[in-house]
């Protein structure tokens, strides 16, 4: 940036990268750049705004001078606003009707709202410019104070449609009893807003606002559609909204009760039980079976239901598999339940899963007997046989039976075995294998004579657990780059399982013509702050590299493992903030579609685990959990935590793209 031989175009590109890096060590040089040409000054002001306070506070004097002397003061006024200057913020607000703020790369409306403050935003609800009134209404939602509710309600009758919509959403976002009562009064006045309002409420409020809107809709089919949308975000506050729908139906049929109970179970609301019990006892086989499946979604055992499902499992053979699965799913481990599991463990796979989850030694004995048999052949696996094998593999994973690691490697390496079972065997190997067995797995992965399908299976093991000795070998293939497939597989292992040493070398290899593609691919999967900065710089300077990574990421199957999930989601979220969103998108798709299998959690299990992690003592783990919930589509959990406050509220707010109240 300071090279006197560079053109301004090159210098501006360097300044942009410094702003993206948010590196406080660049502040002195950026202040110096404010003395150069107008184009360079504007770029430097934007970079300083990106770095923000307190690091860039030293630039305020020069920025103020430029704001007073420049023919276009807006870039400097915005930089001062980002540094917390209220007077500058008032002048930036005046630019909203001109529609020019979006041209400032570092512009963030929440920073502008914070700098103005709620009291002044209330004043601007009466501004003569409708776009300023709209801005004030939008941001009084997250900055809501009690004194704002009445002015916002008044704005809900504004002559401008966008202002009215923003005001209604702000009342829902405020969320207080007073604000929701005001929302309830205002919604009926303009039904033309309802289609837009439902999307905004779903994104910004969740259950409180959606519940008010749904109350005003008379059409049963439309209400059902909105309830389905609400259930899709897994808001734990949705229970009252779902149950009110039953009250509104004069005659509620079994199907509606089943749908409402299932939605309640998904959010862990135990009020589902009083709906499910009669459906299980009195419903036809199909209805009873669906109700039992819904019980499994609750995620925790309930004594009455546990006793009922035990009785069903022992007396009703047509419902036995689903009853056993529900017992295993919600972790039932009472003495009677374990006796039921033991009775059917050899014939019904869910019973074996239940035994393993309860830590019963007999589970691993049954699993060992199953895995000692030859693996079913490709294309010849019967459904019942496949389910029995999967249950046995899950029992091994749950029991951490390390002594079976050599057999798991044999199964994963069988070129003629069922591909699905082969992959699951490898996944379990990654959970229970010792270094010696995993090193042998790496030998087979890197052996050119190993069939491609076997390689892909073994890769699942090494993505879960990678010994240090294996990482150093994999780095050799990334560094060499001659063998395309092996370099690609090695890059996956190093990217997801590496540490600071590997990430430093990968960042250095981005400048190596032969290794840069594979090093960049590895860093798209994992890395630390320094490696991310290096990757972002490489991507900013090479469209071809962006295209190459996009192709590789779309081609690579994402593996969902608890071992690396928090690190991977954090890495992907930070890359997205730096302008490369595909890793987060691909990981999100895989997490939402994740089904429980041996060593693999389901999307439902992940949602519950991540929700619990919002209470973790470590703010980094809370932030990772918040990003994971966003990736899982569980926006409602984040909205609820943001509204509740306390631990995890700030992290939920950041993940949602806003800021804490």
Burial class (CB in 10 A: 0-12, 13-18, 19+), 605: middle
pLDDT tops 80 at residue 3: no
Q: Identify the band that residue 1 occupies on the pLDDT scale cut at 50, 70 and 90.
A: low
Contact between 283 and 250 under an 8 Å Cβ cutoff? The reply is: no
In contact, 635 and 204? CB cutoff 8 Å:
no
- Output the pLDDT for position 661: 32
- Spatial separation of the C-alpha atoms in residues 586 and 592, rounded to whole Å: 10
Query: Which tokens is 72 given?
Result: 């276009």
Q: What mean pLDDT value characterizes the chain?
A: 93
pLDDT per residue as tens digits for the range 357-370: 999 999 999 999 99
84 is written with which tokens? 């917390």
Burial bucket for residue 196 (CB in 10 Å: 0-12, 13-18, 19+): middle
Cα 30 from Cα 398, distance rounded (Å): 55
Q: What is the mean pLDDT of residues 206-229?
A: 96
Predicted local confidence at residue 13, as pLDDT: 87
Which residue, among 634, 636, 630, has the nearest Cα to 569 in the 3D structure?
Answer: 630
> What is the average pLDDT across 145-165?
96
Q: How far apart are CA 323 and CA 638, in angstroms?
A: 32
Say whether pLDDT at 142 is over 80: yes
- Preceding peptide of 54 cis, ω within 30°: yes
pLDDT tens-place string over residues 413-448: 999 999 999 999 999 999 999 999 999 999 999 999
Q: Which of 19-28, 32-41, 141-150, 374-383 comes out lowest in average pLDDT?
A: 19-28
Rg (CA), the chain: 29
The domain locations on the chain are 467-553, 557-661
At 454, list the tokens: 């076997």
CA 286 to CA 319: how far, in whole Å?
Answer: 9
Quick check: 660 pLDDT over 70? Answer: no
- Distance, in Å, from the CA atom of 656 to the CA atom of 631, rounded to the nearest integer, reads 11
| Confidence at residue 659, expressed as pLDDT on a 0 to 100 scale | 40
643-650 CB contacts, 8 Å cutoff, 24+ apart: 643/175, 643/206, 643/208, 647/614, 647/615, 647/616, 647/622, 648/614, 648/615, 648/622, 650/619
Using a CB cutoff of 8 Å and minimum separation of 24, what contacts does 574-577 make? 574/529, 574/532, 575/524, 575/532, 575/535, 575/536
Query: What is the full DSSP assignment across 365-427?
Result: HHHHHHHTSPPPBTT---HHHHHHHHHHHHHHHHHT-GGGHHHHHHHHT-TTB-HHHHHHHHH
7-11: average pLDDT:
87
The span from the CA of 580 to the CA of 181, in Å, is 42
State mean pLDDT over 588-599.
94
Instruction: Yes or no: say if 598 and 396 are a contact pair by the CB < 8 Å rule.
Output: yes
User: Cβ contacts of residue 511 below 8 Å, gap of 6+?
Assistant: none
Q: Which residues, 6+ apart, have CB-to-CB distance to 226 below 8 Å?
A: 198, 210, 213, 214, 217
Looking at residue 289, its pLDDT comes to 94
Q: What is the pLDDT of residues 560-573, one digit of tens each?
A: 999 899 999 999 99
Element (H, E) at 624: helix 619-631
Tens-digit pLDDT profile for residues 374-399? 999 988 999 999 999 999 999 999 99
Cβ atoms < 10 Å from Cβ of 304: 9
Q: What percent of the chain has pLDDT over 90?
A: 87
**Region 286-307: what's the mean pLDDT?**
90
């Amino acid at each position: 940036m300071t090279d006197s031989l560079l053109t301004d175009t090159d210098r501006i590109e360097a300044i942009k990268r410094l702003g993206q890096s948010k590196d406080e060590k660049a502040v002195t040089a950026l202040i110096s750049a404010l003395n150069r040409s107008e184009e360079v000054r504007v770029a430097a002001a934007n970079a300083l705004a990106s770095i923000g306070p307190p690091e860039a506070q030293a630039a305020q004097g020069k920025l103020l001078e430029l704001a007073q002397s420049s023919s276009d003061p807006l870039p400097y006024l915005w930089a001062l606003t980002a540094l917390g200057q209220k007077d500058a913020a008032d002048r930036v607000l005046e630019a909203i009707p001109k529609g020019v703020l979006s041209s400032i790369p570092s512009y963030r409306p929440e920073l502008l709202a914070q700098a103005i403050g709620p009291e002044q935003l209330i004043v601007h609800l009466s501004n003569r410019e409708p776009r300023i009134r709209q801005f004030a209404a939008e941001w009084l939602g997250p900055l809501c104070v009690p004194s704002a509710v009445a002015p916002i309600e008044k704005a809900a009758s504004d002559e401008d449609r966008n202002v009215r919509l923003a005001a209604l959403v702000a009342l829902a976002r405020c969320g207080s009893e007073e604000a929701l009562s005001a929302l309830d009064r205002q919604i009926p006045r303009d039904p033309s807003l309802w289609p837009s309002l439902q999307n905004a409420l779903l994104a910004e409020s969740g259950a409180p606002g959606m519940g008010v809107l749904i109350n005003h809709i008379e059409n049963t089919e439309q209400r059902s559609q909105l309830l389905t949308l609400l259930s899709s975000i897994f808001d734990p506050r949705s229970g009252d909204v779902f149950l009110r729908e039953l009250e509104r139906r004069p005659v509620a049929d079994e199907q509606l009760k089943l749908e409402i109970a299932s939605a309640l179970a998904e959010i862990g609301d135990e009020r589902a039980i009083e709906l499910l019990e009669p459906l299980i006892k009195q419903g036809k086989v199909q209805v009873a079976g669906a109700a039992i499946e819904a019980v499994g979604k609750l995620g925790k055992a309930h004594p009455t239901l546990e006793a009922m499902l035990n009785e069903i499992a022992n007396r009703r053979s047509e419902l036995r598999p689903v009853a056993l699965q529900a017992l295993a799913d919600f972790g039932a481990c009472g003495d009677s339940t374990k006796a039921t599991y033991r009775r059917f463990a050899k014939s019904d796979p869910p019973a074996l899963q239940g035994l393993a989850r309860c830590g019963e030694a007999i589970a691993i004995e049954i699993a060992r007997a199953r895995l000692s048999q030859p693996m079913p052949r490709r294309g010849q696996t019967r459904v019942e046989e496949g389910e029995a094998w999967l249950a046995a593999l899950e029992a091994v994973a749950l029991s951490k039976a390390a002594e079976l690691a050599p057999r798991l490697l044999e199964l994963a390496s069988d070129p003629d075995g069922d591909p699905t079972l082969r992959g699951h065997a490898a996944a379990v190997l990654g959970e229970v294998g010792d270094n010696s067995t995993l090193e042998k797995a790496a030998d087979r992965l890197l052996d050119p004579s190993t069939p491609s399908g076997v390689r892909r299976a073994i890769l699942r093991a090494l993505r879960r657990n990678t010994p240090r000795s294996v990482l150093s070998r994999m780095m050799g293939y990334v560094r060499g780059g001659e063998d395309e497939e092996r370099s690609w597989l090695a890059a996956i292992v190093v990217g997801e399982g590496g540490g600071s040493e590997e990430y430093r070398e990968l960042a250095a290899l981005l400048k190596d013509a032969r290794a840069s593609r594979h090093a960049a691919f590895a860093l798209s999967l994992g890395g630390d702050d320094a490696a991310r900065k290096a990757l972002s710089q490489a991507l900013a300077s090479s469209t071809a590299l962006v295209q190459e990574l996009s192709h590789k990421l779309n081609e690579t199957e994402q593996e969902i493992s608890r071992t690396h999930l928090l690190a991977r989601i954090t890495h992907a979220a930070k890359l997205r903030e730096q302008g490369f969103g595909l890793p987060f998108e691909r990981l999100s798709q895989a997490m939402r579609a994740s089904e429980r299998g041996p060593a693999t959690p389901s999307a439902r299990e992940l949602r519950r685990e991540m929700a619990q992690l919002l209470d973790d003592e470590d703010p980094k783990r809370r932030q990772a959990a918040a990003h994971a919930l966003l990736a899982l589509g569980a926006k409602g959990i984040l909205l609820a935590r943001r509204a509740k406050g306390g631990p995890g509220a700030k992290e939920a707010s950041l993940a949602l793209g806003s800021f804490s109240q």
